Amino acid sequence: MPDLWMPGAQRLDIGDHAPTDGGPAKAVAHITWDRNASVAKPVDLVPYENLRAYFSGGGGRTVAPHVLWDPFTGRVTQFVPATSRSKSLVDVSGGTRTNRAGSVVIQVEALFFPYCRVGGRTYARLTDTPCKGWEELHGWVHSWGVADAWPNGRPENCTRNEKTWETKSGWYPHKGVPENGHDDPLSWPAFPTSPKPTTKPKVSLAHVVYAARHDPPAAQGHTSYKGEVLTVEKALKAEGLLPAEYVDGSFGTKTVTAYARWQRSPAGGGYTGDDADGIPGEKSLRLLAARHGFTVTD
């Protein structure tokens, strides 16, 4: 079974899960479009953190997508698992089932509006942005069986054909979904020629324990099993426990402290005292792996 939670994405589960109806797998492309700007009057892009807070704990919980994607940095936050419906689409009572019409209906909200300004530059279309993280995001959606197709047409020129929506797998622009009157996303990046593999990285418990014991007393920047430590550090960062500047492949004192915080957290096992010493244990590491898409070996 593919990953319910996208590997590498920050997980902020808002609850309110509900099953989809089954049928052709779909993804829906949205943009946040939370400001109106123009070529003559560009507007600064709204901070990613604002939208993340809006969907996870503010007034946006009732319309949250599955994932919020920042095409400028590649950051992704996921709010509900892939097999749950989200509520980002208008769903008219008695009409077609928009939020549920498929084995999955994964809704992706890109942080963008036309003529937003980032770093002094104005971006007219989503496809003008760096589109960082798109390959990884696409690879995860593709793993759920969503076809690399736009059955109702690409965002630039689409219809709202209800029969196509109900019977064809693929990506649908918000504008191309029946019962929905929005015009977004206006553009969307092309499908990668070869979907990025979604093979889970492997982390050896013995290796990261060694690193946690040997990196802190060694010279600054010393690394042991750098790739595996990076996988653990990225997961700790996604949990909000480790600042980005310390995600460097060295299991130093900052990483030990962050891992101890993970051990003490309910999700990490709720350990106390000497059991939360920042040295990975099998159970706490497997709990972290389950949330962030890596595999633990001996």
pLDDT at 157: 94
Give pLDDT, residue 198: 61
- Same domain for 136 and 98: yes
State the Cα–Cα distance between residues 205 and 281, nearest whole angstrom: 7
Report the chain's terminal Cα–Cα distance, integer Å: 23
Residue 196 lies inside a defined structural domain of this protein? no
d(CA 133, CA 67): 12
Instruction: Supply the pLDDT for residue 58.
Output: 75
DSSP state for residue 275 in the 8-state scheme: G
Residue 187 lies in a domain: no
**Contact, 298 vs 205, CB < 8 A?**
yes
Short-list 72, 85, 67, CA closest to 8: 67
Q: Do 78 and 117 share a domain, yes or no?
A: yes
The verdict on 67 and 158 lying in the same domain is: yes
Instruction: Check whether residue 167 and residue 237 sit in a common domain.
Output: no
Whether residue 167 sits in one domain with residue 21: yes
pTM of the model: 0.70
In the numeric block, the tokens 């630039």 are attached to: 156
Domain span at residue 154 reads 10-176
Residue 164 lies in a domain: yes
Do residues 20 and 165 both lie within one domain?
Answer: yes
Residues 40 and 169 in one domain: yes
Q: Name residue 190's amino acid.
A: A
- Residue at 186 is within a domain: no
How confident is the model at residue 197, as a pLDDT? 59
Spatial neighbors of 87 by CB under 8 A, at least 6 apart, are 62, 63, 64, 99
> Which residues of the chain fall short of a pLDDT of 50?
none
260 CB-near residues (< 8 Å, 6+ apart) = 276, 277, 278
**What's residue 83's pLDDT?**
96
